[in-house]
Chains A and B, each alone.
Chain A
């Protein structure tokens, strides 16, 4: 009985999490009567076919993807290096480093966004608001999440492997390439995915530092003032469905490799 109660509760919470998403996806197939997409009228695929018929939506989503990929890449490298230093090395300033990495996560987005804006506005000769400043901001707030994720994995791994490699005469770079990197690669991938998700979803920090450039969330904020066209639902649904597909692919791949290792033993 108790077991079932827990299952029911869990499924109810999942339902709650999925409800708005279901509404978003449903209304991406709606053919609204006027400019407002809130009453179900009739089913159509037009919005999906002509998803970019709203001026600015395509540029916005491209900007979002570009910023997301670039910022995630840079942040993953920077964050992984910090994580390795913290976990694998003893050095003066380790505590301070920990705090510095932790601080951006403990600062509300609005403060991060606002403080960066004051920097950019006060150093106008160097920084012009736009793609570059969005990129800088995203790397800054993603890095800490990367460090934390990679660090958690590194702590769990046996460092004797690395020591053994060093004892056997491999230099540090080789050891890193042959031992450490393969060990933490899954964690880096997970961290990168988290970073990409955070980047593509970010509104507040971007909103402060975007200037005239629009990412998808900034575009939505603007267009939502009067009406949200179904094309916005299409893009949001598409991002969601791609993410689901990637994750399902990952689940499948893990399942396959698990089977393979079973077969090998």
Chain B
């Protein structure tokens, strides 16, 4: 077998790739093709016909541009919130936590292990109108006497922020961990100010982590529907809620498929713009 590889060196990478790439082709690319096929159908459940129904797409934009916009805005705010919350934490873990590093890393991943829905339902209890958090905020006059946290944009964006936090924190940590501390010392020797050392050395070196984290947070956030469904009102409905309802409530598969395509397409466009700004090598690694 070894000699086979030696004789056919060019074949080796393809043999290594074949099983995984086939899997992705059959269960990722072909389904996308089916989705495309479905998105151009018309008719009513369960008898849809393929009719090149391009109006599904124009109708989707006409009827749901608001939910699209909302999804991107919420995902954007949540991504920034994740960055603001995560960066100092992982910076502290990487440079200050010493022997406790791994323990604190564990705290970042921990929410993953308490099922998504269960942790979101826990927030529902914590932020309840008559619950302790709202009570304190009302006493402090941060909220009015009838003020609330649940069923608001704040609740939905906070839920998204919480649920996708590890996707932001981990890549940044990885990039910070790789920084050679001697570089920082040298920088301090040269620039004297620790702020400058951070801005000129640490921040640029952690940029790949920030880029990866931003993507890994923004993409699932834009397609999320759980947070808006459990923590919001219809005024906070995101495009994920529409797709979910079209697929699983009204069985309107063609609309659901065209909306899915538009969501994927708009995310890819956003990615391309992002790639232009940060350089494409950083995106695909």
Q: Please give the residue numbers on chain A whose beta carbons come within 8 Å of chain B beta carbons, in ascending order.
A: 3, 6-7, 9-10, 13-14, 16-21, 23-24, 27, 38, 77-79, 81-82, 84-85, 88-91, 97-112, 114-119, 122, 136-137, 139-140, 143-144, 147-148, 151-152, 171-174, 197-198, 200-204, 208, 216-217, 220-221, 224, 228, 232-233, 236-237, 239-240, 242-244, 247-248, 250-251, 254
Tell me which of A119, A217, A254 contacts B30 (CB under 8 A): A119
7 contacts between A and B (CB under 8 A): A9-B88, A10-B92, A17-B107, A84-B16, A110-B243, A236-B118, A243-B110
Cβ–Cβ contact A236 & B102, under 8 A: no
Alpha-carbon distance A89/B13, docked complex (angstroms)? 6
Closest beta carbon of chain B to A121's beta carbon, Å: 8
Closest chain B residue, CB of each to CB of A139: B23
Contact of A6 among B20, B28, B92, B285 (CB under 8 A): B92
Query: In the assembled complex, which residues on chain A have CB atoms less than 8 Å from the CB atom of B3?
Result: 171
Q: Is the CB of B21 within 8 A of A6?
A: no
Top-6 shortest CB links A-B: A108-B223, A171-B2, A78-B20, A20-B122, A89-B13, A115-B31
Task: State whether A221 and B12 are in contact (beta carbons under 8 Å apart), knowing that A17-B108, A82-B20 are contacts in the complex.
Answer: no
Q: Which residues of A contact B108 (CB under 8 A)?
A: 17
A21-B111, A114-B35, A216-B115 known; A105-B216 Cβ under 8 A: yes
> Is the CB of B225 closer than 8 A to any CB of chain A?
yes
Interface size on B, residues (CB 8 A): 88
Shortest Cβ gap from B158 to chain A (Å): 10
Which residue of chain B is the closest to A96 with respect to CB atoms? B21
Q: Across the interface, name the chain B residue whose C-beta is closest to A3.
A: B96
Closest to B262 in A: A111
Q: Which residues of B contact A144 (CB under 8 A)?
A: 24
- Interchain Cβ contacts within 8 Å, total number: 263
Stretch at the interface among B57-65, B141-149, B179-187, B263-271: B263-271
Q: In the bound complex, do residue B21 and residue A82 qualify as a contact, i.e. CB atoms below 8 Å apart?
A: yes
* Cross-chain contact A143 with B23 (CB below 8 angstroms): yes
- Residues of B with C-beta under 8 A to A217: 115-117
Q: Is the Cβ of B243 less than 8 Å from the Cβ of A251?
A: no
Complex Cα distance, B205 from A59, in Å, reads 47
Which B81-119 residues have C-beta < 8 A from chain A? 85-86, 88-89, 91-93, 96, 102-104, 106-119
Given contacts A103-B28, A217-B116, is CB(A108)–CB(B240) below 8 Å?
yes
Besides A10-B92, A224-B117, 16 more A-B contacts (Cβ < 8 Å) are A7-B96, A13-B86, A16-B162, A17-B165, A98-B284, A108-B219, A111-B243, A115-B32, A115-B257, A140-B27, A172-B5, A208-B247, A228-B118, A243-B112, A247-B106, A254-B102
Task: Please indicate which of the listed interface residues B216, B247, B248, B271 has the most CB atoms of chain A within 10 Å of its own CB.
Answer: B247
The complex places the Cα of A109 from the Cα of B223 at a distance, in Å, of 7
Q: Given that A3-B96, A251-B102 are contacting pairs, would A244 and B110 also be in contact in the complex, using a CB cutoff of 8 Å? A: yes
Interface of A is mostly: helix
A117 to B86, CA, bound (A): 35
Q: Are A81 and B118 in contact (CB under 8 A)?
A: no
CA distance A197 to B192 in the complex (A): 43
Tell yes or no: B226 within 8 A of A by CB: yes
Q: How far is the CA of A201 from the CA of B111 in the complex (A)?
A: 10
CB distance from B218 to the nearest CB of A (A): 10
Cα A201 to Cα B109 in complex, Å, equals 12
Q: Which of B121-179 contact A (CB under 8 A)?
A: 121-123, 125-126, 128, 162, 165, 174
Q: Which residues of B contact A236 (CB under 8 A)?
A: 114-115, 118-119
Residues of chain A contacted by B116 (CB below 8 angstroms): 201-203, 217
Decide: B24 and A137 in contact? CB cutoff 8 A: no
Partner of A112, one of B6, B28, B165: B28
Closest A residue to B215 by beta carbon equals A106
Contact B284 A99 (CB under 8 A): yes
Which residue of the partner chain A has the closest CB to B268?
Answer: A106
Q: Could you tell me the distance between the alpha carbons of A7 and B98 in the complex, rounded to whole angstroms? A: 12
**How far apart sit A20 and B110, CA to CA, in the bound complex (Å)?**
11
Q: List A contacts of B85 (CB < 8 A).
A: 13, 16
A118 near B34: Cβ-Cβ < 8 Å: yes
Interface residues in B19-45 by Cβ distance below 8 A to A read 19-21, 23-25, 27-32, 34-35, 37-38
Nearest CB in chain A to that of B105: its residue: A247
In the complex, how many angstroms separate the beta carbon of B188 from the nearest chain A beta carbon? 14
Q: Are the CB atoms of A13 and B89 closer together than 8 Å? A: yes
Complex CA distance for A174 and B5, rounded to whole angstroms:
12
Contact partner, B103, options A88, A151, A200, A251, Cβ 8 Å: A251
Inter-subunit contact A118/B20 (CB<8 Å): no
